[in-house]
Structure 1
Amino acid sequence: MDNGILGTQVITQIGIIVNDIEKVSASYAKFFGIEQPQWFWTDTVDLAQTEFNGELSEARAKLAFFDCGQLQIELIEPDHNPSTWREFLDKEGEGVHHIAFSIKGMKEKIELLHSKNMPLIQKGEFTGGRYAYIDTFSELKVLTELLENDK
């Protein structure tokens, strides 16, 4: 079976941009009948090395996660600094921001997608790995996040 450009067809996460992570997280917890997860801040730029449109950014966001079997729902409340999260909230309002895939070979995947007119928007590091948001909207009607975990 062909696993396409990314080497996988398994979506691991849906990212949703929100204005109020406490309120939306409580709504999801009630909907799922589970305990509300604690949200946390993304790392500061010195650790995350966040780049948005090729420039370092101080951008941070509050994150909360809901594990739903193979799929994870990520709630994202951005701060005021330039980021794909802030841009989405300002232009589109709350809603689905991205679908994510766990991949191997981040640099190669970014280059491959760029060669297919799917450019890198934002990237950064997190404890245990890295992420990259790719502009796949013209083709897929949603942004794509690549997640690479260190193992």
Structure 2
Amino acid sequence: MPPLFNNLHHVCIVVRDLEKTVAYYESLGVGPWFDYPKKGTYLEFDVPNKAASDAMRYKCCDLDNVQIQLCDPGELDSPQKRFLDERGEGVYHLGFEVADRDAAEAHGRALGLGVVARGRRMDGSGFCYFDTRDKAGIVLEVRKS
């Protein structure tokens, strides 16, 4: 099986003020920014707090080599909100593109990685956030778009 964390897709930064942060990046010439396209219904959607997940706001920017995602977690309890409260603004996770979401999740579990959140759609797309904070310093995500 290919390495799980080989094809970096995005860097997700948790911020307090989405509009202010986007404006700052734009002042540096980084953009354009777009709303994260939440697409499709999940067959499986296992997150710590669905209401908090639904309320999160994201802005994204595609650079030549990677996407930047800015996340405003809102006020409801979530891992992202706890990260912001405990550590302040910063990189919450790295997202890696994989060919097979299910196989990647199984591979991560076989490596002993705990799962923070996961979602799978009918077409096989989706995500899995592994709890790698203690040893990697951040969450590592696998995703198939």
TM-score (norm 2): 0.79
Distance in structure 2 (CA, Å) of the matches to 1:30 and 1:22: 12
Could you list the runs of 5+ residues in structure 1 that have no partner in the other structure? none
* Relative contact order higher in (CA < 8 Å, ≥ 6 apart): 2
How far off is 1:32 after superposition? 2.3
> Which of 117, 121, 138 is the aligned partner of 1:122?
117
Q: Deviations over 1:95-127 (max 9, x none)?
A: 10011110122222212212222111012368x
Q: Are positions 1:31 and 2:28 aligned together?
A: yes
Q: How does 1:27-106 map to 2 (within 5 A)?
A: 27-32=24-29, 34-35=31-32, 37-39=33-35, 47=41, 50-53=45-48, 57-59=50-52, 60=54, 61-106=56-101
How far off is 1:147 after superposition? 1.3
Tell me the number of residue pairs that the alignment of Structure 1 and Structure 2 aligns: 140
Distance in structure 2 (CA, Å) of the matches to 1:104 and 1:70: 18
- Alignment RMSD: 2.8
Could you list the runs of 5+ residues in structure 2 that have no partner in the other structure? none
Q: Any conservation in 1 of the 2:14–2:72 contact (CA below 8 Å)?
A: yes
**Change in 2 beyond 3 A, CA 1:33/1:115:** closer
Q: Any conservation in 2 of the 1:121–1:135 contact (CA below 8 Å)?
A: yes
How far off is 1:140 after superposition? 2.2
TM-score (norm 1): 0.76
Aligned residue number for residue 139 of structure 2: 143
2:126 partner amino acid:
R
Distance in structure 1 (CA, Å) of the matches to 2:135 and 2:111: 10
Q: Deviations over 1:32-64 (max 9, x none)?
A: 2545x2446857xx94564224xx621231111
**Change in 2 beyond 3 A, CA 1:39/1:20:** farther
